[in-house]
Structure 1
């Protein structure tokens, strides 16, 4: 994958474009530092606009969402069709949380409510630490994916599968892009939409992120380096 002047399509999921952009988190500087031009699109709040072309895209990054991959929201179908086209064109997809769930579902896996929702920095075990490191990653989800048999599950914990690869694609259940501002953007959306979360839990997670933001950024950087590097082999 050539990095110079390459386009990285990023799909976000918030009706406020400003919050949607903030949700991309540390992926913004990390991808820009690697020479990628970001093209940000949403199938829900920008459904009237044309999504970026896929023919010469270097990658598609699919971010998290408060909605579920199995929800019957009108934008899920068009986004699914777009990602199916990307897969057909061998455009690498990185799916994050909801994005990982949607990728698993498109490839023939399943997405369901989790018996063990995960919130905060959570340990995982990895079979492929050079791509996805073991240890703590940021989690905030009530659904879970089961990757299709055609994929390779590379990370897991007691709550379920945490990462899988399928050809050039990578789906993760956690949020490598997290920083304090990203978490604050989620909190702003919760307040706007009347979504209740345990205040003590939210405060504790934010405190953990403040203390560990530098490490989280380094782990995100390493994951991107490894995933991008796989595309050029």
Structure 2
């Protein structure tokens, strides 16, 4: 199984020495999965796949951009998502990728009036992801960093998990698409330095609360979110 990583951003230059490029975070995350090969495309720098058939599964990453921004590359990736959806080509969306998949397929994405979702926060299982052959129940504490949210899902998607703060946090469409607002590829160490960068934008209260959640909960239920993604990938081989 070959995973195509549609990069919609990269780490800050001074973070790369310690953490590598953004796609390295996903490669580390998928080490024990059924994925055997990777191909990265720097879409935010206008490097794109030639065909949806170039890889078995496509992953749309997080980004500092908003899906409603006017940068041309965002529309190119949105069309690529529509092409994958038309062909039932498997897709995974993470944070911005979660939002872009819904945006491209007719959902609504906005900057949330509830403010920043930052640190480790709780979501509740709303529906079992039955087509993904996994049990996913109860409360999950997951790493996140976002302002935008999916306000209305695209047609055909089931909301797997959410909360009062983020009602549409994890979604699936049949066996072909899995999206999540959280960042399972982020470690607490990485997120700590990232949210410190956002102190001027988000404010001390939000950042300090996020840092406190990391101190108390660590990576939370990150492994369960990763397991859901791994199960999704295994199903694509059936």
1:170 counterpart residue number: 178
**CA 1:211–1:60: 2 relative to 1, 3 Å:** farther
Match of 1:13 among 2, 8, 13: 8
More divergent stretch after superposition (105-114 vs 179-188): 179-188
Q: Provide TM-score, normalisation by structure 2.
A: 0.78
Contact 2:58-2:91 within 8 A present in 1 as well? yes
2:118 counterpart residue number: 119
**CA 1:16–1:120: 2 relative to 1, 3 Å:** closer
**CA 1:94–1:172: 2 relative to 1, 3 Å:** same
More strand by share: 1
**CA 1:50–1:144: 2 relative to 1, 3 Å:** closer
**CA 1:114–1:17: 2 relative to 1, 3 Å:** closer
Runs of 5+ consecutive residues of structure 1 not aligned to the other structure: 1-5
Secondary structure of 1:9's counterpart equals: strand
Contact 2:84-2:90 within 8 A present in 1 as well? yes
**CA 1:123–1:154: 2 relative to 1, 3 Å:** same
- In 1, Cα distance between the equivalents of 2:149 and 2:230? 26
Contact 1:63-1:95 within 8 A present in 2 as well? yes
More divergent stretch after superposition (50-59 vs 6-15): 50-59
Cα RMSD, aligned residues only = 3.0
**CA 1:97–1:135: 2 relative to 1, 3 Å:** same
Contact 2:67-2:74 within 8 A present in 1 as well? yes
**CA 1:219–1:16: 2 relative to 1, 3 Å:** closer
- Does 1:37 pair with 2:44? no
- In 2, Cα distance between the equivalents of 1:40 and 1:207? 34
Match of 1:108 among 86, 106, 109: 106
How far residue 67 of structure 1 moved from its aligned partner, in angstroms, is: 1.2
- In 2, Cα distance between the equivalents of 1:139 and 1:214? 10
Runs of 5+ consecutive residues of structure 2 not aligned to the other structure: none
Match of 2:89 among 85, 88, 91: 91
Secondary structure of 2:169's counterpart equals: strand
Residues paired across the two proteins, number: 223
How far residue 182 of structure 1 moved from its aligned partner, in angstroms, is: 3.6
Q: Provide TM-score, normalisation by structure 1.
A: 0.79
